[in-house]
Structure 1
């Protein structure tokens, strides 16, 4: 009888499809999956999308987690293409996109679902994200300012102590790509992630598009995710530098008017370029100078990423 009651409760709850993208990081993905095995929310499916790993990731994950559905893309489609493949295969009422370098609290899904189900105008929710190595320090407590004229965004609560100041669920501006919950019906209207981005700024594009459709985005502090991203180590690798610059040009192009985009280009070439070239040259990082300039050129030309040419930077 207990099983029957639990099954009845499960069937009344919206189904959540949890999607992780793996590329050559089986150990990280396995740690994330182990934490997901402890979650309290009963109606879920877990999908791992492998982006063409050649390190035995798929074999290891299948052996260790035989119950998990694994989709093999065959090549690296980035954050956007990987998650899109997962969403296309998913059967849930909600899509939960989760970075593979995260671990989660056992009850992290429940508050987000409760909030999202409370209002049909809520389109998506992101949880509180803290640093794994410093769990008392916040990485994300909601979106902050969006400055498309300079290609800058900010995160509410970033690098601040988790002392209760951000303890209320609030409407916010931006989702965080490390962990976000979105309704299937919203994705059916706004579309999948724009694969032109590949990685970086894609959740900003999605957030802006979701809000343009009239849906709201919320931050839920009772849902906790721990992100294994360093607080101090800068991710100055060529692929990231290339993508960040290419993508913010593209983001400005599709979300601003003519004059605002023109101001952004003026700022990019007149201020940002000089600052970053000086910064990279002071570190003797010619590779970053080249990546920065190639990113700007690719942004102006509206070029898609060519995996053979750029993915070797990663």
Structure 2
């Protein structure tokens, strides 16, 4: 049996992470697994206690918060498996999830990354993800297929090639990472999996879904529904993604659209909703690009590390 390294990242959510570990140990039926938990600069160091409670799990501790990409990269570097399955700590698996994704990868060597169907954990039967449409690079917009719909199997025939994988659950072979590289850590939060998919495509692979495989996702456990942190990185990284993955001409057109449509719309929405504290955060997300290169490690936002 081929070894699957399951990598997940914890940040101040020990109970959520332990629920995932229970799911992997009790629900999952594929046993040739290596579970790697990266504690990503949590306020309290949970690793010593976890090592006693879960002796079969590999625990790694970063004393600083390295973000979604950085935390996962720590685990990837230590992974021994032929396959790597990156899953959010706020997910719970289904019995045959891992085996089904592995079969897809085994049967099609062109697949670079594959994601399963995702349901909302608190509303089983409601879709969060059944694939992504391709990106409109002029607008930096794409669509998550099926989101908020009742799952009646209406998208199951779409199993196969898709625009992007979903960061909550991504499986890939180790050789794909060797060719495409690790995730870009200067995104810190949001868009890093889309950027990674772009680099995997450039390395000659495709992005797929297997909609017979299912995982449950507890959306936004770590960040929350709305926050200044989320507002900053969603906007900064939207621009960063286009800067890094399109031509100068396309980026110029996108900037015109952002200036004429997105900035006025967002500012009016903040004022209408009384979210005045988001205005300087939004403007800071934009002006970051005037002073930083696209590969800059300067995050532009104060992160508790």
**TM-score by shorter chain over 0.5:** yes
Structure 2: unaligned runs, 5 residues or longer: none
Matches within 5 A, 1:89-108: 89-108=78-97
Structure 1: unaligned runs, 5 residues or longer: 1-12
Query: What is aligned with 2:156?
Result: 167
Query: What is aligned with 2:30?
Result: 41
Q: Secondary structure of 1:266's match?
A: helix
Matches within 5 A, 1:88-237: 88-168=77-157, 169-229=159-219, 235-237=225-227
Q: Secondary structure of 2:236's match?
A: helix
- Tell me the TM-score normalized by structure 1: 0.90
TM-fit CA distance, 1:283: 2.1
Q: How many angstroms apart in 2 are the aligned matches of 1:291 and 1:150?
A: 21
Q: How many angstroms apart in 1 are the aligned matches of 2:49 and 2:285?
A: 35
1:16 partnered with 2:4: yes
TM-fit CA distance, 1:60: 4.3
Q: How many angstroms apart in 2 are the aligned matches of 1:79 and 1:280?
A: 27
Q: How many angstroms apart in 2 are the aligned matches of 1:95 and 1:267?
A: 38
After superposing on structure 2, the runs of 4+ consecutive aligned residues of structure 1 that deviate more than 4 Å are none
Q: Secondary structure of 2:149's match?
A: coil
TM-fit CA distance, 1:45: 0.2
TM-fit CA distance, 1:18: 0.3
**Range moving further from structure 2, 293-302 or 203-212:** 293-302
- Tell me the TM-score normalized by structure 2: 0.93
Q: How many angstroms apart in 2 are the aligned matches of 1:181 and 1:241?
A: 28
TM-fit CA distance, 1:14: 2.1
TM-fit CA distance, 1:145: 3.2
Q: How many angstroms apart in 2 are the aligned matches of 1:151 and 1:61?
A: 41
Residues 297 and 185 (structure 1 numbering): CA distance in 2 closer, same or farther, change over 3 Å? same
Partners of 1:145 and 1:155 within 8 A in 2: no
TM-fit CA distance, 1:56: 4.2
Q: How many angstroms apart in 2 are the aligned matches of 1:269 and 1:175?
A: 29
Q: How many angstroms apart in 2 are the aligned matches of 1:158 and 1:115?
A: 23
Q: 2:303 aligns with which of 284, 288, 311?
A: 311
Q: How many angstroms apart in 1 are the aligned matches of 2:18 and 2:298?
A: 28
1:86 partnered with 2:75: yes
Q: Secondary structure of 1:264's match?
A: helix
Matches within 5 A, 1:217-296: 217-229=207-219, 235-296=225-286
Residues 278 and 304 (structure 1 numbering): CA distance in 2 closer, same or farther, change over 3 Å? farther
Q: Secondary structure of 1:124's match?
A: strand
Q: Secondary structure of 1:50's match?
A: strand
Q: How many angstroms apart in 2 are the aligned matches of 1:134 and 1:273?
A: 34
Q: How many angstroms apart in 2 are the aligned matches of 1:210 and 1:20?
A: 20
Q: How many angstroms apart in 1 are the aligned matches of 2:118 and 2:49?
A: 28
Partners of 2:186 and 2:299 within 8 A in 1: no
Q: Secondary structure of 1:270's match?
A: helix
Q: How many angstroms apart in 2 are the aligned matches of 1:236 and 1:293?
A: 17
1:26 partnered with 2:19: no
Residues 305 and 32 (structure 1 numbering): CA distance in 2 closer, same or farther, change over 3 Å? farther
Query: What is aligned with 1:8?
Result: none
**Cα root mean square deviation, aligned:** 2.0
Q: Deviations over 1:207-254 (max 9, x none)?
A: 111112221121111211111117xx9822111111111111111111
